[in-house]
Amino acid sequence: MIDDRKCFDEINLITVIVNFGMASKIMKHAKKHGVTGGTVLLGTGTIKNQLLEFLGINEARKEIVLMASDSNTSKAALEELDRRFNFRKPNHGIAFSTSIRGIFGTKAMKCNDNVERGEEVAEYNLVISIVDKGKGEMVVDAANKAGSRGATIINGRGSGIHETSKVFGMEIEPEKEVVLIISQRDLTDGIVSSISTDMKIDEPGNGIIFVQDIDSTYGLY
């Protein structure tokens, strides 16, 4: 029995997506407001601009900052981050939080087992698609057909039962792309359906999609 499991609805995951080079500043400011630490990932943001596409520079390097904290600290930290970095201005970044259903391996966060689930309906969803490397843009194109306005692509590595092959007796785990899409709730089903159809997600080894509710957002306009 694992007794290290922390709580459910009271702990949030803060996600901040900013231009390359900004992550350390985000982390430093968040720590000033109660966030104890985080993880930085590198990704690619999709930019829809005809001139940039013509010039071949329509992709921008992004940093994705992941930070977990209790819900009160999360809310306060997000407000302070928005005040400092002004996410509401175009190209200044996007920040949002999602609920964490459980945490293992940390004693920094305590939980209250009596926390009740709220009845509010999320305005936005986070659609996460995991596909083979090179197919992330196909996911973005499929999502755009259903009303999505952009995405962030992160490089990853897979180890599913349908994903491995052997060379000289060694298992080779193919590289993956993780596509993050923030969707208005009323568009989510259509976006998921479009991605699923175009990528043939129902066929083994073609990828997975899952959806999370977003509790609060900054920088979406």
- Mean pLDDT (the chain) is 80
- Compute the distance between CA of residue 40 and CA of residue 18 in angstroms, rounded to an integer: 11
Residue 12 tokens read as 């949030």
Percent of the chain with pLDDT over 90: 43
Which pLDDT score is estimated for 103?
Answer: 53
Residue 117 pLDDT greater than 70, yes or no:
no
Residue 107 pLDDT greater than 70, yes or no:
no
5-28 pLDDT, tens per residue?
444 447 889 999 999 999 999 999
Helix, strand, coil abundance in the chain, percent, nearest 5: 25, 35, 40
39-96 pLDDT, tens per residue?
888 888 776 555 444 444 456 788 899 998 888 999 999 999 999 999 988 888 999 9
Q: Residues 6 or more apart from 96 whose CB is under 8 A from it?
A: 14, 15, 124, 126, 182, 214, 215, 216, 217, 218, 220
Task: Please compute the mean of the pLDDT values over residues 27-43 and round it to a whole number.
Answer: 90
119-146 pLDDT, tens per residue?
566 799 999 998 888 999 999 999 999 9
Task: Please compute the mean of the pLDDT values over residues 180-196 and round it to a whole number.
Answer: 94
Beta carbons of 145 and 48 less than 8 angstroms apart: no
Beta carbons of 104 and 5 less than 8 angstroms apart: yes
Which pLDDT score is estimated for 167?
Answer: 56
Which pLDDT score is estimated for 138?
Answer: 95
Chain centre to alpha carbon of residue 4: 25
- Identity of the residue numbered 98: T
Which pLDDT score is estimated for 202?
Answer: 87
pTM of the model: 0.71
Which pLDDT score is estimated for 87?
Answer: 93
